[in-house]
Structure 1
């Protein structure tokens, strides 16, 4: 029999980690389980022997408007591994004709042609407001006209990468939520936030250290199965082949992928898996400069949506990539290298060769995010009073992103803490969350990179 008051968090991805950290902060005893030998789920770093480098299993564009995610990083100590680009800037490259431009939101940017998409007018951007008033059944293409000046050079690449699906299918309401929390909130909510040491250094390792220091028990490599239910309570489960019985004050947060949760919870309705995402990493002989001069660039008119540079590593991300994922890795690498290599500075001289590469295929990278599938998202609470759900596939009002995952974990923890048997909730002893503060440190081409630190302490990049 487990000790009273333990909350068992099943799943050590970002949603599970966020829930566990919030519970530990509130004084609850926590046990975390994951069938993988490492935490992080789809947000982690690993050493790749072929490249001889640490790479992320997926590239994620984090913005300063992702408040819940960045607050989680601050509270766990991961903020030191993040750098914010100031002021907000998004370089783009049109692979059809080589045109480059940099979107610079903020202030009166719509009235400055140098800060907009070439050929666009201020009124063109107001079309995005149609996504804010979209109905439940509207797709992005239903609300944003394909004939508009911004469709191919802005709305389509943003929507495909944010919602991992074609604009004819993905939810306009979810895309509107992205715009509402970032672009429409001004420059301060649009600043790219980089993780130069990798995703694990910012969002996984600090959380694990914080949990261990709080006395949480971590069970990695422990598959959870056989959940048992009696009346309105979950009474036990099997973890790594051992039975875990729940005490009267114990709770469970299920933070697994949707298809796992569907198997474990009777009658649970979840969205089906969405398209694959393919990430491709190249190791070069030397660092290169990307069009626009920043560590990333948006790509239009090609296979990938984003290209990232970190030291001698180049990484590209391709969303809605089912067809590409079916191809051999060598074919994928050859196609992408041919598209991006001519635009690097200096252009690598490999005499027709492809540099060392690693292709990472995520077949079920996100849930499907069509309006029909979004309607299948479950809420945090379940029919059982000691079982709550977390994950980017639950109802958060956001696309399946890192922000959504952390937000769902925080909500699941709050729902657990709100149960009447929680003494800390009754006494009102919740720690106050302060705002996230930072100071600029150094500039590069007019942009400022600030290293985020705890309690507003910026640290020099070194």
Structure 2
């Protein structure tokens, strides 16, 4: 029995490593010249540094991330503060504060001076609880009042980053699940963690080493062109380098973007609308120490990541910026950074990366289009952050989808 995993992003890597851990033979095929998908690192000659294509923040309570990194021997590759803390700065008022939740689920921090949200009252936090009662088909702004200090200074920036969509019009079902797994469980569940030194070193390279050590094969620049089917089975895979027969016991995990999955199997449902993300990288020496993460309000930049050799920034819900000139964007982003961190306004060496289809749009209608792992074909499973993981399109969701596909394959032969 062989398992063909098509797509070497995090969903595919998650499935492939989980299957290899169960002793199954895995062949991993990837259309690009490198593994990782949207989770990749590379040397950028313009800035003269190894950078990530984007900044990916994970949280201490992300169980699929934790299990995946433990499996591939990379648990020590995430860094962050010992105590959960989120510094914020408001560029409009110049005000800065730090949200410092206590570790436990009883949120005594919310009304403790110096730990909570400036100007917030207990009633402001209590008003957010309506989100946890959200029903499928509801928008966020149909479940809670999207205004006030807690919304403006904590919930909105948090949900914008998690959903990559304007939170008010996003799926309340998705937003609620994010809150249940993080804010509602106490600070110990949402301490910020950053891949260090980068995405590839943390999530990709150790996984490839793990697969190789267990006899797995990786085939790069190998695009899947067609699924050959007969009845309820996939009988063959037409790759760019030639056809592959699928044996009667073989299984396939299709871990490709939704638009590719639809081209290969038009009968599938999949999200059809997407949202972009813009990331900026600036060569500025910060010095050694753990990465610092700072939330920004009333600017174009939303989150600043301070690394030893660079400052990187993220703008979510960024479709509006996709046609902007890159140098204009760099100057706009650095303007926010220099004000937030009190640095020189002179633009340092920079790089701007636009991910036009970074995630599916986390709205009610697109949430309804997300498919389960199972397909109409008995030997074909789906994986990807766009499938029905119960979460928005995140690293945690991608890895859960891969683990789910691997688990279903194992169950079939238990």
| The two structures share one fold, judged by TM-score above 0.5 | yes
SS state at 1:243 partner = strand
Residue deviations 1:273-293 (CA, integer Å, cap 9, x gap)? 321100000002x31799xx9
- Does the 8 Å CA contact 1:224/1:237 hold for their aligned counterparts? yes
Counterparts of residues 331-342 of structure 1 (less than 5 Å): 331-342=328-339
Q: Which residue of 1 aligns with 2:341?
A: 344
Match of 2:393 in 1: 400
- Equivalent residue for 2:100, pick from 100, 104, 112: 104
Task: Give SS of 2:43's match.
Answer: strand
Distance 1:236 1:372 in 2: 33
Match of 1:201 in 2: 201
Q: CA deviation at 1:161?
A: 1.3
State how far apart, in whole Å, the 1-side matches of 2:147 and 2:267 are: 43
The offset of 1:325, in angstroms, is: 1.6
- Whether the 8 Å contact between 1:21 and 1:210 is mirrored in structure 2 is yes
Report the 3-state secondary structure (helix = DSSP H, G, I; strand = E; otherwise coil) of the residue aligned with 1:372: helix
Offset from partner CA, 1:216-266 (integer Å, 9 cap, x none): 111111001110110111101112331000011100000001111111113
Query: Is residue 302 of structure 1 aligned with residue 299 of structure 2?
Result: yes
1:39–1:204 Cα contact (<8 Å) kept = yes
Deviation at 1:76, TM superposition (A): 0.3
CA contact (8 A) 1:288 1:344 kept: no
The reply on whether 1:214 has 2:214 as its aligned counterpart is yes
What SS is found at the alignment partner of 1:416?
Answer: helix
Residue-by-residue CA offset, 1:30-51 (whole Å, 9 max, x unaligned): 0001100100011111111111
Q: Which residue of 1 aligns with 2:316?
A: 319
2: distance between equivalents of 1:173 and 1:139?
Answer: 8
- Output aligned runs, 1:250-261, within 5 Å: 250-261=250-261
Q: Among residues 363, 371, 379, which one is paired with 1:378 in the alignment?
A: 371
Q: Is the 8 A contact 1:33 1:239 kept in 2?
A: no
The CA distance in 2 between the partners of 1:73 and 1:264, in whole Å, is: 31
Structure 2-normalised TM-score?
0.96
Contact 1:164–1:274, Cα closer than 8 Å, also in 2:
no
Q: Which residue of 1 aligns with 2:2?
A: 6
Which runs of structure 2 are paired with 1:151-190 in the superposition (5 Å)? Answer: 151-190=151-190
Structure 1 residue matching 2:317: 3-state secondary structure: coil
1:266 & 1:332 partners in 2: Cα distance?
37
Give, in angstroms, the shift of residue 384 of structure 1.
0.9
Q: Which runs of 5+ in 1 are unaligned?
A: 426-462
Q: How far did 1:294 drift? A: 6.5
Map 1:416-427 → 2, pairs under 5 A: 416-419=409-412, 422=413, 425=414
How far apart are the structure 2 equivalents of 1:172 and 1:328? 34
TM-score, structure 1 length as denominator? 0.86
Question: 1:64 maps to what in 2?
Answer: 60
Indicate if the aligned counterparts of 1:165 and 1:274 stay in contact, CA closer than 8 A. no
Residue 82 (structure 1) aligned to one of 70, 78, 81: 78
Matches of 1:60 and 1:129, distance apart in 2:
27
Contact 1:33–1:220, Cα closer than 8 Å, also in 2: yes
Report the 3-state secondary structure (helix = DSSP H, G, I; strand = E; otherwise coil) of the residue aligned with 1:364. Answer: strand
Contact map agreement 1:269 1:378 (CA 8 A) in 2: yes
Structure 2: tracts of 5 or more residues without a match: none
d(CA) in 2 for partners of 1:82 and 1:311?
Answer: 15
- Residue in 2 that maps onto 1:438: none
Aligned-pair distance for 1:338? Answer: 1.3
Aligned 8 A contact 2:373 2:388 in 1:
yes
